[in-house]
Amino acid sequence: MKLRANKILNLTFFIIIITVVLFSQQISAGEQLGAEEIINRRDDNEYIITAYSEAQMIIKSGGRTQVKEMRAWQDQSNSLAEFTNPRDRGTKFLKRDDDIWMFFPEAEDLVKISGHMLEQGMMGSDFSYQDILESDKLTDLYDFELLGEVEYQGRPAYKLEGVKVPGKEVSYYRRIVWIDKERFVGLREELYAESGRLLKEAEVLEVEEIDGRWYPVHTVMENKLRENTSTEFVVKEIDFNIEIDDSMFTLERLR
Amino acid sequence: MFLFRMALKNLNRHRRRTFITALIIAFAILIYILTEGLMLGMTEMSFSNIINLESGHLQVANQNYWDERKELPLKNLIEPSEEIERKIEALSGLQAYTKRLNFSVNLNNGIDELPVKGVGINPEQDGAVFELQKHLVEGRMPQAESSEIIMGAKLAELMDFELGDYAVMLIRTPDKTFNTIDGEIVGLFNTPHPSLNENNVFIPLTTAQSRLDIDNQITNYVLRMESQDSGLTAAEELDRNLEAPLAAYSWKDTAESLVTMIEMQTIETQVILAIILTLAAVGIINTIILAALERMEELGMMKALGLHEREIVYIFMGEAAGIGFIGGVMGIILGVVGLFIFNYYGLDISAFTGGGDVTYGFPISGTVYAGWELSSFIFVFVYGMVVSILASFFPAFWAARKDPVKAIYHR
């Protein structure tokens, strides 16, 4: 009997030891997440297979504020956005792989955006068309390094720095990102030119848990080369993993 | 000779009528000479602007770059080498050469952004090929290796820049990665080449190369030759010596669209001349018919005395040729005087483009002076004579065919 009690005690002790060891291992594993892994986890979190969303774009420029509303359908590589506010009603954008087309309802004209136009802000916002087009995996384009763990807006966060992989075609030479340590959602991002000049700054003002994942629903983007401009992007509604017809992302649909 | 004297005497019979008819021709010729002079002046000025400020007499570039050069790509650049430079230096008639790098820039003043053309220049050599320095209205040229820039005074005004300001130039490396240059504006220019004033920013070559991550590559060599003609022959010679994909392009290749435009303009001037001379021809027909009606009895008499129809036609044609000759001489005298005045005072282009910068596609601004070309004087004189003679043919033939008896009892 005594032997048995001893055995149980031993087993309990063993389990405790195991648990502690395992747990501590898990903790250290969490702490030692590689920079790439953090980025990939954020990207997985924000990655969209298919989605339908309704959003608002608040563009502030030189003391003027414009509000644009839009709805959008997207899958992994394509998206279609249609503006619904009275002024721009019917204006549509279609992104198909590496191309963007724009449709103006008044002129009934279809324009492919290319060359210099790609660097312009979309609908006068601080998001350039080029920003929208860059959809390659970030960890393929940048070498990320964990700069440390910081607290950002009351949230524990990883601060990482990505420097362009030599030879890769990418707009921003260096980017610094803050990623929520627990929710793996981006909180802030700074985009730099090769000269070290800060070009753009994005800040996530609000995240929401939607369908079991944390998703940024209110972001503000600033073009740091221009004074007094900012663009807020507010996601009003988003449904993930909806069914989208193949014909959605065609030029015919754009007209 | 008899017929010729006859024609001359006939011309003398109604001096006022002869004079007025000739005046119409003179007027047509004057208009043609002035238009042609203006065209020549604009052409010469356009070419000299392009040569002195944009393309030099000839350029060396990669063929694949050349076709896309308007897009300002950073592909198909030239790696400067002693071999290329030896071939350039071997050209006869070479005065100087320099390296340049054209690239795309988004010029930023903190409020707005404007796409412009950035030009990397070698400050030590550039002045020997281009006349940019001559047109500086404020400040100085940028110093080598610095981030100093110069731009058109008009562009600076548009972007609210002043001398000493820093302009942010947003550029993209061949990898499409953004880079910036904080260019200090040390000079403003105002050239007679409008597009240069409106959208070009000049910066030392080495600075541009290092910020664009392209080592010491350039887009083109630019050469200054002794003359425009030697530019054309040297381009052919150099083109043969260069290895593909490198090629030599003369100033005419650069100004391809301008050359086409000038050809079109030449046709336009010819059409104007044709229209005006057709009107003059109507005047001549009228004069000949009048003369024929007036001298109907006389014609009948001459035919009765044995003059051939052919000879009567000759008399009238001689008379018309005389009118053409007088008109031609008067026209050329008027034209020379007109051109002299035009050349002395010049013509301010902004005056007839409503003060705007519209130059109908010509790379010119400011004051145009007329051009001279002897061949166009000869052409218009001969053309005026031919039209006069042709115009007289049918009325002369009509008069000559009259029955002598009916002609004598004309009234």
Backbone angles phi, psi at B117, to 5 degrees: -105, 125
Look at residue A106 and tell me whether its pLDDT is greater than 90.
no
* Highest mean pLDDT of the ranges A195-199, B15-19, B256-260, B313-317: A195-199
Contacts of B108 in chain A (CB under 8 A): 225-226
A39/A27 same-domain check: no
CA–CA gap between residue B366 and residue B346 (Å, rounded) = 10
Look at residue B66 and tell me whether its pLDDT is greater than 50.
yes
Look at residue A18 and tell me whether its pLDDT is greater than 70.
no
pLDDT on residue A23: 46
pLDDT on residue A11: 59
Chain B residues contacting A, CB < 8 Å? 71, 104, 106, 108, 110-113, 115, 168, 170, 172-173, 175-182, 211, 213
CA–CA gap between residue B186 and residue B231 (Å, rounded) = 33
Strand partners, B97: B223
Q: Is residue B395 reached through a cis peptide bond, with omega within 30 degrees of 0 on the bond before it? A: no
Instruction: Tally Cβ neighbours within 10 Å of residue A107.
Output: 8
What distances in angstroms separate CA B391 from CA B102, B323, B382, one per listed residue?
A: 57, 11, 14
Contacts of B111 in chain A (CB under 8 A): 62, 226-227
Structure tokens at B241: 């010596």
Which of A64, A114, A119 should one mutate to test binding to chain B, selecting the residue with the greatest count of B CBs within 10 A? A119
% of chain B with per-residue pLDDT over 70: 97
E-only strand ranges, B261-411: 347-348, 367-368
Q: Output the domain CATH number for residue A131.
A: 2.50.20.10
E-only strand ranges, B109-199: 113-121, 136-139, 148-152, 166-172, 178-189
Contact A126, A202 (CB under 8 A): no
Structure tokens at A228: 């007094």
pLDDT interval class at B291 (50, 70, 90):
confident
pLDDT on residue B351: 64
Kindly state the average pLDDT of the residues B287-312. Answer: 86
A82/A1 same-domain check: no
CB-based contact B213 A193, cutoff 8 Å: no
Q: Pick from B409, B340, B268, B366: which is nearest to B30 by CA?
A: B340
Backbone angles phi, psi at B293, to 5 degrees: -65, -40
A176/A246 same-domain check: yes
Look at residue A188 and tell me whether its pLDDT is greater than 90.
yes
A6/A120 same-domain check: no
pLDDT on residue A26: 42
Instruction: List the Cα angle B87/B63/B242 in 5-degree steps.
Output: 20
> What is the radius of gyration, based on Cα positions, of chain A?
23
For residue A6, the enclosing domain spans 1-32
A19/A42 same-domain check: no
Q: Which residue has the higher pLDDT, B276 or B173?
A: B173
Look at residue A226 and tell me whether its pLDDT is greater than 90.
no
Give the ipTM of the model, two decimals please: 0.78
CB-based contact A115 B111, cutoff 8 Å: no
Alpha helices, DSSP H, located in A32-110: 35-46
Kindly state the average pLDDT of the residues A228-252. Answer: 88
SS3 B179: strand
Contact B40, B342 (CB under 8 A): no
DSSP character for B361? Answer: T
Look at residue B354 and tell me whether its pLDDT is greater than 80.
no
CA–CA gap between residue A100 and residue B32 (Å, rounded) = 53
Q: Using CB atoms within 10 A of its CB, is residue B297 exposed (0-12), middle (13-18) or buried (19+)?
A: middle
**To which residue do tokens 């608040």 refer?**
A58
E-only strand ranges, B15-174: 58-62, 94-108, 113-121, 136-139, 148-152, 166-172
SS3 B200: strand
CB-based contact B181 A195, cutoff 8 Å: yes
The mean pLDDT value of chain B amounts to: 87
CB-based contact B175 A164, cutoff 8 Å: yes
A186/A61 same-domain check: yes
Q: For A24-56, b where at least 16 C-beta lie within 10 A, e where not — what string?
A: eeeeeeeeeeebbebbbbbeebeeeebbbbebb
Three-state secondary structure readout of B222-255: EEEECCHHHHHHHHHHHHHHCCCCEEEEEHHHHC
Q: For A134-152, b where at least 16 C-beta lie within 10 A, e where not — what string?
A: eeeebbebbebebeeeeeb
Look at residue B60 and tell me whether its pLDDT is greater than 90.
yes
Structure tokens at A9: 């005690």
Contact B219, B61 (CB under 8 A): yes
What distances in angstroms separate CA B51 from CA A189, B65, B239, B255, one per listed residue?
A: 48, 20, 19, 9
Least confident range of B90-94, B199-203, B289-293, B338-342: B289-293
Alpha helices, DSSP H, located in chain A: 2-31, 35-46, 129-133, 138-141, 251-254
Look at residue A185 and tell me whether its pLDDT is greater than 50.
yes
Give the CA diameter of chain A. Answer: 92
Contacts of A227 in chain B (CB under 8 A): 110-111
pLDDT on residue B281: 84
CB-based contact A115 B71, cutoff 8 Å: yes
A181/A81 same-domain check: yes
pLDDT interval class at A218 (50, 70, 90):
very high
Q: For B91-119, b where at least 16 C-beta lie within 10 A, e where not — what string?
A: bebbeebbbbbbbbbbbbbeeebebbbbb
Q: Which residue has the higher pLDDT, B109 or B348?
A: B109
DSSP character for B288? Answer: H
A120/A175 same-domain check: yes
pLDDT on residue A13: 60
What distances in angstroms separate CA B138 from CA A211, B123, B181, one per listed residue?
A: 64, 17, 22
Look at residue A255 and tell me whether its pLDDT is greater than 90.
no
CB-based contact A164 B177, cutoff 8 Å: yes
Nearest CB partner across the interface for A195, out of B111, B113, B180: B180
H-helix or E-strand containing A233? strand A229-240
pLDDT on residue B312: 87
The count of domains in chain A is 2
| pLDDT tens track for A21-66 | 444 444 444 456 788 888 888 888 777 788 899 999 999 887 889 9
Which of A134, A197, A228, A230 should one mutate to test binding to chain B, selecting the residue with the greatest count of B CBs within 10 A? A197
Structure tokens at B191: 């050239």
% of chain B with per-residue pLDDT over 90: 36
A118/A43 same-domain check: yes
A122/A17 same-domain check: no
Look at residue B212 and tell me whether its pLDDT is greater than 50.
yes
pLDDT on residue A29: 43
A16/A94 same-domain check: no
Query: B164 to chain A, minimum CA–CA distance in Å?
Result: 19
| pLDDT tens track for A133-155 | 766 678 888 999 999 999 998 99
A234/A159 same-domain check: yes
Report the relative pairing of strands B148-152 and B178-189 from DSSP bridges: parallel
pLDDT interval class at B223 (50, 70, 90):
very high
CA–CA gap between residue B43 and residue B311 (Å, rounded) = 47
pLDDT on residue A5: 57
CA–CA gap between residue A239 and residue A50 (Å, rounded) = 8
Kindly state the average pLDDT of the residues B11-22. Answer: 86
CB-based contact B113 A199, cutoff 8 Å: no
H-helix or E-strand containing A204? strand A198-210
